[in-house]
């Protein structure tokens, strides 16, 4: 058995192999396009992990929403709910957070910050709840409803920043900025890394514990992996579990929006999310829906995006190449999964009772 | 008939898969004009032998003669050209295509266009000639399972098959459909051809076949006319004399205990408003086995789920104990999560009622106990359920459902797809559950099986359930809705 096939046998190994292959593949493309690969690689490294500034203020700051929203996607997917509307849930969370934050200006930080985050979570859950109710009541496929609701949320934000929430001078399509007391504190001296990153890690640990160790987490897994067996053998109310997972997923995605508003942008504007909700799907898949994996994959993707910006700035290589890496990683993971499923189907069973 | 020419003859056939020897110097002779049953436990090599004869597998050693000529197949296409047709256990139909299209699929000629009218005519012609009538325009997916099987046979006949091989053809058929199929196969053999019937149902084989060959561990251990062989001799040959199926049933209690399950005027209606159960009243007592029988779709499926507390009745009262074990028919869909470990599959039992944190060490111990006490062959309790063979999966499911002394146990076709050894084990477990005071309900589509187990019989017909004597003739009449 070669090193490669052995690595692919383990979940984490397969993801790492897919990531590595994607990077190698894109390297060749960058080379073929006539760019200086060593300069591009150096710029990518400098922009992501090469210095304290790029690591804390670039990579980890960008990783924060990816980890939180990646956890949202993972929770839903684990339960078999294909919530691809994290983007819309994040946007509605962001909108609710800014509304609450501006209304609470002058309140003490210990009061206003938790309330802001709560507002974001509630809004995210409500946005996911629309699709959850449509699914439970009318059997509407969540893949379609959540995707459509993303656009509704996007235009909703656009309306808000051109209308009711626009700053008083009506010059820019954005809201007022949050007061200092309504912002998340920074956690590393001299860096732009905010408390949201700590929250993201804590949430990942909590999600890991919940899924691994609690009865609710077990219900989530059995409802996702074998809904009919869960209902029959386990008497699990699968509908309820899926509904709960859907709302929880929306709440976590909404928290992602809240953290971005209170920790980074301090205001709401149209392009507040450069597609975090979609990239988070890639993060969750690369992580095989494991919460710890989401943390690692989130930092990896955060590094790619921070480094991609540096690569464009310092080496003149379009940042789009890192999105190609992201896409190839997902294709790689899916291909490995498919190969593994086929291998499992072909593998001999333990005892020779099968018909040969 | 013994003097007739050999339609198919297999000599010294050996086939290995890796280190497994599937066929070990096996012989088989099919006489023209006969139906020949090929019997054996799962894994005995029946299917492998016929796949070699059909050109799907290449033998490692041995020879093959068709109508007296030595043949060597490069692929199934050669076998088909030589007049052999095979109906596989799992049908090979394109669900979205019509009957005519399925029959035409595989016609030679790349540039020859598909002519729907000619294809439909061919299906009608075969129907008129053989009695296997099908609507050429019907979609394969819409056909009932018996008609799908007819379609598979028609596909073979469309290629002028004279030797038909059928792999477990009655596994999916109702008793009356099986009867029709067997009658047709006998007339086909008498008319022009020969039939190989792969099966593990000894009684059916003796009833329909002219000759019988028993395979065990890849060798033909018994062969002869069905008139001279009896059931006991065949079962002994299949099992190597290790198991006797007519074991004296010492666990039967003459006096059952208190009623544990009670249904009063229970009705179940599906979402389209169809009444699946109508006004059913029954009870099940501690220490008895109640057998359920019924033609597919007579309401037994819903009745079992009501008894197991998995389905709430729309009307009437169902008193079901809190702890009731349920062994559903489709174990990989309704009982186990194939990708999860045995420990997790044991915990699944309590997934709906647990609160707080999961005590995985406890579940691990319990899974090990279940594996040990119920003779589940596995490489460990952490291995996924799908790594187990069907018999061991079922032993694990039964062990899980019997764990913690449930008040009642409901089993639906508990031996489906199992070989005789595993099936005997499962039936013994059901009897010992009865001996320890469990109220047991068993449904089986195999009437003989349920009759040997049951203390009382209840037969479902058209959503109603009626008590019937434990007697094959009476039960069969009740299954058809005739007054007993």
For residues B27 and B270, the model is more confident at B27
* Among the ranges given (A71-80, B126-135, B318-327, B449-458), the one the predictor scored with the smallest mean pLDDT: B126-135
pLDDT in tens, B124-134: 998 888 888 88
Q: Establish how many alpha carbons lie within 13 A of residue B3's alpha carbon, considering only the half-sphere containing its beta carbon.
A: 0
Task: Please report, in tens digits, the pLDDT of each residue of chain A (356 residues total).
Answer: 455 555 455 677 778 888 888 888 888 888 888 888 889 889 989 999 999 999 999 999 999 999 999 999 999 999 999 999 999 999 999 999 999 999 998 899 999 999 999 999 999 999 999 999 999 999 899 999 999 999 999 999 999 999 999 999 988 999 999 999 999 999 988 888 999 999 999 999 999 999 999 999 999 999 999 999 999 999 999 999 999 999 999 999 999 999 999 999 999 999 999 999 999 999 999 999 999 999 999 999 999 999 998 889 888 888 888 888 888 888 888 888 787 777 766 654 443 333 33
Tokens standing for residue B132: 């296997």
Q: Does A175 reside within a domain?
A: yes
Give B379's contacts in chain A (Cβ within 8 Å): 350
Q: What is the CATH number for A58?
A: 1.10.3470
Cβ distance B351 to A356 less than 8 Å, yes or no, reads no
Tokens standing for residue A4: 């490669």
| Separation of CA B234 from chain center | 19
Q: How far is A11 from chain B (nearest CA, A)?
A: 14
Quote the CA–CA distance of B103 and B159 in Å, as a whole number: 9
Q: Does A5 reside within a domain?
A: no
**B243 pLDDT exceeds 50?**
no
Cα A245 to Cα A141, A211, A221, A251, B214, distances in angstroms: 15, 12, 10, 10, 54
Q: Does A348 reside within a domain?
A: no
Q: Does A25 reside within a domain?
A: yes
% of chain B beyond a pLDDT of 90: 46
Give the nearest partner residue to A233 out of B42, B89, B335, using CB atoms.
Answer: B335
**B120 pLDDT exceeds 80?**
yes
% of chain B beyond a pLDDT of 70: 92
| Of the candidates B321, B337, B322, B274, the residue with the CA atom closest to the CA atom of residue B301 | B274
For residues B471 and B32, the model is more confident at B32
CB-based burial label for A258 (10 Å; 0-12, 13-18, 19+): buried
Give B325's contacts in chain A (Cβ within 8 Å): none
Output the pLDDT for position A355. Answer: 35
Output the pLDDT for position A327. Answer: 86
Helix axes A61-78, A276-286, angle to 10 degrees: 70
Quote the CA–CA distance of B329 and B390 in Å, as a whole number: 12
Give A215's contacts in chain B (Cβ within 8 Å): 351, 354-358
Cβ distance A356 to B22 less than 8 Å, yes or no, reads yes
pLDDT in tens, B349-391: 999 988 999 999 999 999 999 999 998 988 889 999 988 888 8
Q: How many domains does chain A have?
A: 1
Delineate the domains of chain B, giving CATH numbers in brackets: 6-239 (3.40.50.300), 259-479 (3.40.50.300)
Give A337's contacts in chain B (Cβ within 8 Å): none
Instruction: State the complex-level ipTM.
Output: 0.86
Quote the CA–CA distance of A106 and A180 in Å, as a whole number: 9
Quote the CA–CA distance of B424 and A8 in Å, as a whole number: 41
| Of the candidates B446, B391, B393, B454, the residue with the CA atom closest to the CA atom of residue B424 | B391
Q: Does A264 reside within a domain?
A: yes
CB-based burial label for B328 (10 Å; 0-12, 13-18, 19+): buried
pLDDT in tens, B226-238: 889 887 788 778 7
* Chain A interface, Cβ < 8 Å to B: 213-215, 217-219, 221-222, 225-226, 228-237, 344, 347-356
Q: What pTM was computed for the model? A: 0.74
Tokens standing for residue B144: 């009932």
Specify the pairing of strand B219-225 against strand B211-216.
Answer: antiparallel
- Report whether B280 contacts B301 (CB < 8 A): no
B411-445 exposure pattern, b = at least 16 Cβ within 10 A, e = fewer: bbbbbbbbbbebbbbbbebbbebbeebbbbbbbbb
Chosen from B336, B352, B355, B375 to mutate, greatest number of chain A CBs within 10 A: B352
Sign for the pseudo-dihedral over CA of B371, B375, B376, B382: positive
Tokens standing for residue B435: 């001996």
Cβ distance B349 to A234 less than 8 Å, yes or no, reads yes
Cβ distance A232 to B20 less than 8 Å, yes or no, reads no
Output the pLDDT for position A354. Answer: 38
**B433 pLDDT exceeds 90?**
yes
Output the pLDDT for position B405. Answer: 87
**B315 pLDDT exceeds 80?**
yes
Q: Does A293 reside within a domain?
A: yes
Q: Does B322 touch chain A (CB under 8 A)?
A: no
Give the nearest partner residue to A236 out of B20, B333, B352, using CB atoms.
Answer: B352
Quote the CA–CA distance of B364 and B344 in Å, as a whole number: 8
Output the pLDDT for position A31. Answer: 87
Give A214's contacts in chain B (Cβ within 8 Å): 356-358
Give A350's contacts in chain B (Cβ within 8 Å): 377-379, 383, 387-389, 392
Tokens standing for residue B228: 């001279």
At residue B270 the predicted structure's pLDDT band, cuts being 50, 70 and 90, is confident
Give A229's contacts in chain B (Cβ within 8 Å): 333-337, 348
Chosen from B337, B339, B376 to mutate, greatest number of chain A CBs within 10 A: B337
Cα A268 to Cα A120, A151, B156, B180, distances in angstroms: 13, 17, 69, 74
Output the pLDDT for position B110. Answer: 58
Output the pLDDT for position A356. Answer: 33
Q: Does A197 reside within a domain?
A: yes
Q: DSSP label at B338? A: T
Output the pLDDT for position A86. Answer: 97
- Stretch 281-320 of chain B: residues touching chain A, C-beta under 8 Å: 309-310
Structural domain of residue A19, as residue ranges? Answer: 10-338
């Amino acid at each position: 058995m070669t090193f490669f096939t052995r690595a692919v046998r383990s979940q984490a190994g397969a993801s790492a192999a897919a990531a590595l292959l994607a990077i190698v593949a894109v390297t060749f493309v960058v080379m073929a396009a006539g760019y200086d690969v060593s300069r591009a690689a150096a710029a990518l490294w400098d922009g992501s992990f090469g210095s304290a500034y790029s690591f804390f203020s670039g990579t980890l700051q960008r990783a924060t929403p990816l980890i939180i929203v990646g956890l949202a996607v993972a929770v839903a997917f684990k339960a078999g709910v294909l919530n691809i509307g994290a983007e819309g849930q994040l946007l509605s969370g962001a909108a609710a957070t800014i509304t609450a934050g501006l209304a609470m200006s002058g309140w003490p930080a210990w009061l206003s910050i938790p309330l802001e985050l709560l507002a974001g979570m509630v809004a995210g859950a409500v946005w996911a709840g629309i699709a959850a109710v449509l699914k439970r009541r009318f059997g509407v496929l969540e893949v379609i409803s959540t995707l459509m609701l993303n656009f509704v949320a996007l235009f909703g934000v656009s309306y808000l920043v051109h209308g009711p929430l626009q700053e008083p001078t009506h010059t820019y399509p954005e809201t007022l900025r949050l007061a200092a007391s309504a912002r998340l504190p920074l956690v590393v001296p001299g860096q732009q890394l905010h408390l949201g990153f700590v929250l993201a890690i804590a949430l990942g640990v909590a999600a890991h514990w919940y899924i691994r160790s609690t009865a609710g987490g077990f219900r989530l897994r059995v409802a996702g992996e074998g809904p009919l067996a869960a209902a029959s053998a386990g008497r699990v109310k699968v509908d309820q579990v899926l509904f709960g997972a859907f709302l929880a997923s929306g709440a976590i995605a909404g928290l992602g929006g809240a953290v971005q508003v209170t920790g980074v942008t301090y205001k709401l504007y149209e392009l507040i999310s450069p597609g975090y909700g979609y990239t988070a799907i890639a993060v969750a898949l690369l992580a095989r829906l494991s919460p710890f994996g989401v943390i690692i994959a989130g930092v990896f993707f955060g590094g790619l995006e921070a480094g991609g910006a540096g690569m464009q700035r310092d080496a003149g290589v379009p940042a789009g190449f890192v999105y190609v890496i992201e896409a190839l990683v997902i294709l790689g993971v899916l291909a490995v999964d498919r190969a593994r499923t086929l291998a499992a189907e072909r593998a001999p069973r333990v005892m020779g009772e099968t018909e040969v | 008939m013994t003097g007739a020419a050999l339609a198919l003859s297999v000599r010294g056939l050996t086939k290995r898969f890796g280190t497994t020897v599937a066929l070990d110097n096996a012989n088989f002779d099919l006489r023209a004009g006969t139906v020949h049953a090929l019997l054996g436990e799962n894994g005995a090599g029946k299917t492998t032998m016929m796949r070699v004869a059909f050109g799907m597998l290449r033998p490692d050693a041995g020879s093959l003669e068709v109508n007296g000529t030595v043949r060597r197949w490069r692929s199934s296409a050669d076998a088909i050209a030589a007049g052999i047709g095979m109906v596989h256990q799992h049908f090979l139909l394109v669900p979205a295509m019509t009957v005519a299209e399925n029959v035409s699929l595989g016609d030679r000629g790349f540039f020859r266009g598909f002519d729907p009218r000619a294809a439909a005519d061919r299906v009608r012609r075969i129907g008129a000639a053989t009695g296997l009538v099908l609507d050429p325009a019907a979609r394969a997916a819409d056909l009932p399972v018996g008609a799908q099987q007819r379609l598979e046979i028609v596909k073979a006949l469309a290629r002028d098959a004279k030797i038909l091989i059928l792999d477990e053809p009655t596994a999916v058929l109702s008793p009356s459909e099986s009867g029709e199929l067997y009658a047709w196969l006998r007339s086909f053999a008498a008319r022009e051809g020969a039939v190989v019937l792969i099966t593990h149902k000894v009684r059916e084989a003796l009833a329909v076949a002219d000759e019988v060959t028993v395979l065990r561990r890849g060798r033909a251990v018994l062969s002869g006319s069905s008139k001279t062989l009896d059931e006991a001799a065949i079962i002994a040959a299949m099992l190597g004399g290790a198991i006797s199926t007519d074991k004296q049933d010492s666990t039967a209690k003459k006096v059952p205990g208190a009623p544990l399950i009670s249904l009063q005027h229970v009705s179940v209606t599906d979402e389209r408003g169809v009444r699946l159960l109508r006004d059913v009243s029954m009870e099940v007592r501690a220490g008895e086995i109640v057998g359920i029988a019924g033609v597919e779709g007579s309401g037994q499926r819903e009745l079992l789920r009501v008894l197991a507390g998995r389905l709430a009745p729309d009307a009437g009262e169902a008193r079901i104990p809190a702890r009731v074990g349920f062994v559903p028919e489709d174990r990989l869909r309704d009982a186990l999560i194939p990708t999860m470990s045995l420990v997790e599959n044991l915990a699944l039992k309590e997934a709906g009622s647990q609160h707080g944190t999961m005590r995985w060490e406890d579940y691990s111990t319990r899974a090990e106990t279940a594996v040990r006490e119920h003779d589940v062959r596995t490489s460990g309790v952490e291995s996924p359920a799908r790594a187990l063979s069907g018999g061991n999966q079922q032993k694990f499911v039964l062990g899980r459902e019997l764990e913690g002394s449930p008040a009642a146990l409901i089993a639906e076709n508990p031996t489906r797809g199992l070989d005789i050894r595993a099936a005997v084990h499962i039936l013994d477990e059901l009897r010992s559950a009865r001996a320890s005071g469990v109220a047991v309900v068993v449904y089986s589509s195999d009437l003989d099986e349920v009759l040997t187990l049951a203390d009382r019989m209840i037969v479902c017909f058209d959503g109603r359930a009626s008590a019937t004597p434990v007697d094959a003739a009476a039960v069969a009449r009740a299954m058809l809705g005739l007054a007993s």
